[in-house]
Chains A and B, each alone.
Chain A
Amino acid sequence: MAIAIFFIAAALTLAGAVGVIASRQPLRSVLSLVVVMLGLSVLFLLLSAQFVFVVQVIVYAGAVMVLFLFVIALLGPAREIARGKLRFQSWLSALFVLALLGLMWTMLQGIQFRQPDQGVDLSFFGTVQSIAVGLFTTYLYPFELTSLLLLTAAIGAIYLSRKRIDE
């Protein structure tokens, strides 16, 4: 049953990823990315990450992707020319992708999993409580830093989209 769910979600994710890189229109790319994120959230739930599953759906698919859609609506239909300035770009890209595939394959072949940590209470794994315990005790400093990062990003976005007087 879990194997079936895994393969369905994985197939959905891969189909979405193909749609992301192969769509001529950016709108279709964004919608395919939403499909990818929903498929990934199912995989997260399968891996006992309940809180990350919800955050992925609400924040990533529900806010960041909506932001992309707003930008596409703002920019209008896109024209993408077929060939750019770099000659043999598609061949060089294919070469690089094959090299990366080979590298990933060898890394996955030689992978050695180590034993899981001992003495972990698995009934609390992935729950909101365990996330909160980690985030507010051990990793409080990175948590505060991300809040600072979000503030900086918001200020940057507001500044970049200000109304220019001389236009």
Chain B
Amino acid sequence: MGALSIGGSQLDASWFLLLAAVLFIMGAAGVLIRRNPLVILICIELMLNAVNLTLITFSRQLENMEGQLFALMSMTVAAAEAVVGLAILVDIFHVRDVEDVDELSEMKG
């Protein structure tokens, strides 16, 4: 049932899902390991892209358009969030140079 007939060949939906899962985990690893806040934002975008791939895979497998519509909504939200996140980042960098995201801790405690 996970088999997809694409262009005459037989693919399987689980290949796409595995790829999306690997991309998501790599994005999560990037968020955990990297210290530059800009690179952390980029890895969040990577995770969002992986989720879009999952949505579109299931949309194709179930032959239901809702997955693609949700992926479009997800792209819109990702764009809006990137805009605001980058604006905040530029605002912070205007005042001081951030090398380590942990040093942005004025609101701690």
Chain A: residues with CB nearer than 8 A to chain B? 1-3, 6, 10, 13-14, 17-18, 20-21, 23, 26, 29-30, 33, 36-37, 40, 43-44, 46-49, 51-52, 55-56, 59-60, 63-64, 67-68, 71-72, 74-75, 78-81, 84-86, 89-90, 92-93, 96-97, 100-101, 104, 107-108, 111-117, 120, 122, 125-126, 130-131, 134-135, 139, 142, 146, 149-150, 152-154, 156-157, 160-161
Q: Considering residues A17, A74, A160, which has the most beta carbons from chain B within 10 angstroms of its beta carbon?
A: A17
CB contact under 8 A between A20 and B102, given known A33-B42, A67-B83, A90-B33: no
Residue of A10, A64, A74 most packed against chain B (CB within 10 A): A64
Is chain B's interface secondary structure helix, strand, loop, or mixed overall? helix
Residue from the list B41, B72, B80 in contact with A131, Cβ < 8 A: B72
**Residues on A with beta carbons closer than 8 Å to the beta carbon of B60:** 47-49, 125-126
Is there an interface contact between A71 and B45, defined as CB atoms closer than 8 Å?
A: no
A116–B38 touching, CB < 8 Å: no
B residues contacting the other copy or chain, number (CB 8 A): 77
Whether the Cβ atoms of A26 and B39 lie closer than 8 Å is yes
Among B9, B62, B86, B91, point to the contact of A1 (Cβ < 8 A).
B9
- The answer on a CB contact under 8 Å between A93 and B79 is no
Question: Which of A40, A47, A71, A139 is within 8 Å of B38, CB to CB?
Answer: A71
User: Using Cβ atoms and an 8 Å threshold, which residues of chain A touch B22?
Assistant: 14, 17
What's the dominant secondary structure at chain A's contact region? Answer: helix
B84 to chain A, nearest CB (A): 5
Q: List 13 A-B contacts (CB under 8 A).
A: A1-B7, A2-B7, A14-B22, A17-B22, A23-B39, A46-B7, A74-B93, A80-B35, A80-B99, A149-B76, A153-B83, A157-B86, A160-B88
- Chain A positions within 8 Å of B52 at CB level: 40, 44, 52, 56
Nearest chain A residue, comparing its CB with the CB of B86: A71
When distances are taken between beta carbons in the complex, the residues of chain A under 8 Å from B21 are 104, 107-108
Which residues of A sit under 8 angstroms from B90, Cβ to Cβ?
Answer: 71, 74-75, 160-161
